[in-house]
Amino acid sequence: TMGLCGLTYEFKSASDRERNPWHVTIIVTRPEKGQERCQGSLVSPYFVLTAAHCFHVDDQAPWVTVEVGPRVQRKVDGLFLHPQYNLGGRRDRGVPEFYDYDVALVRLQTAVPPSPTTRPLCLPCTEGASRALRLPPDQSTCDEHRRLLLPEKNLDAFFVSPRGPSELQRRPVHLKLGEQRGPCEADALRAPPYAKVVALEDVVTPRFLCSGGTEPYVDPNACRGDSGGPIVVTWGKRYFQVGVISWGVLDVCRQPRAPAFARDFHINVFEVLPWLRGQLQDEDLGFL
C-alpha cells in the first residue's frame, strides 16, 4: 500500500521543498551536446513522472540525473517513454512537433524514502489517492476520482517553477474544463510552429488539458524549462497530480503581460492510466 502521498509540511517556516516534496528536476547531459533540464514529480520511491519530449530517442539512462534536493542528484537506471509518443508523427499534416502522449517515467537506481522534503504526489486511481480523498471503499473508483479531481468547470490548479538554486515557486493556473475549453484549445493554432496546420484535431488530442489566458484570471505561462512538471490540484490538505506540463503556444514565460492566446497544454494523467498502471505495477500503489 502507498504511504501517505501528497502530504506536505505547510507551517510558516516550512521550506519550499517541505511544501512541494514531490518536485524534482531532471538533468540530461548528452556527450558533446550540453545539458537539458526538465521538471518532474516523484510518484513512488523509485519513479519520477515527466514529459517524454525531455528525452531524445537515443538518450541513455547514464546521461540522466534527477535532482531530488539542493545538490542531491540521483542516478537513473531506466527511461520509459509512452509507446504512443511520436514527436514527428504528424509532419505529413504540417505538424512539426506532435506532443500527444508526451509522458515518460524515469526509474531511479535507489529508492527515495519518504521524508519531510521528499514524498510522492498522489496519482489518481490509486489506493493512496482514495485515502487522501478520504473516500469510503465503495466510492473508491477511478470514475469517482475523475469526477472529484477534474470537474467540468474552470478548475484551480498550480505548477511549480524553480526560481534560483533552492527556491520553488507555486504558479496558480486555471484548467479550462468547462465551456472555456473550446476557446482555450482553439488558441493552439496561434503557436508559430502550427501556422500551417489545417485542423485543430491534428494538434490538440483528447489527451490534453488547457490552461492560460486572461479570463477569468490572468494565468502565468510555463517556460520550456518547466516542461515535465506536474499540474497539481488540492483536495483538503492533500495534493494530486492531474497533468504533466507538455507545451505552450508562445514562449512568454517571463513576460508579465502575455497575450490572451498564450495557452499551455498538459497531458491529462487520467488519459494515460493504462500505461502508468503497467509501468508502476511493482510499486505497490494499489491502482483501482
Ligand X SMILES: Cc1cc(Br)c(Nc2ncc[nH]2)c2c(Cl)c[nH]c12
Q: Which of 169, 232, 211, 222 is nearest to 42 (CA)?
A: 232
CB of 114 to ligand X, least distance (A): 29
Cβ nearer to ligand X, comparing 173 with 191: 191
CB of 2 to ligand X, least distance (A): 29
- Residue 136, C-beta contacts closer than 8 angstroms, at least 6 positions apart: none
Distance CA 105, CA 96 (A): 24
Pairing of strands 168-176, 238-248: unpaired
Residue 89 is placed in which grid cell? 508523427
CB of 116 to ligand X, least distance (A): 30
List contacts with ligand X (CB under 6 A). Answer: 53, 97, 191, 193, 222, 224, 226-227, 245, 247-248, 250-251
Cβ nearer to ligand X, comparing 53 with 176: 53
Sequence-separated contacts (24+) of 134-139 with Cβ below 8 Å: 134/236
Q: Active-site residue numbers?
A: 53, 102, 227
CB of 248 to ligand X, least distance (A): 3
Cβ nearer to ligand X, comparing 90 with 224: 224
CB of 198 to ligand X, least distance (A): 17
- Which DSSP state fits 123? P
- For the chain, the helix, strand and coil percentages under 3-state DSSP, each to the nearest 5: 20, 30, 45
Phi, psi at residue 111, to the nearest 5°? Answer: -65, 150
The residue number whose beta carbon is nearest to ligand X equals: 248
Cβ nearer to ligand X, comparing 240 with 247: 247
Cβ nearer to ligand X, comparing 16 with 102: 102
Rg of the Cα atoms in the chain? 18
State the DSSP string of 10-57.
Answer: -STT--HHHHSTTEEEEEEEETTTEEEEEEEEE-SSSEEEE-GGGS-T
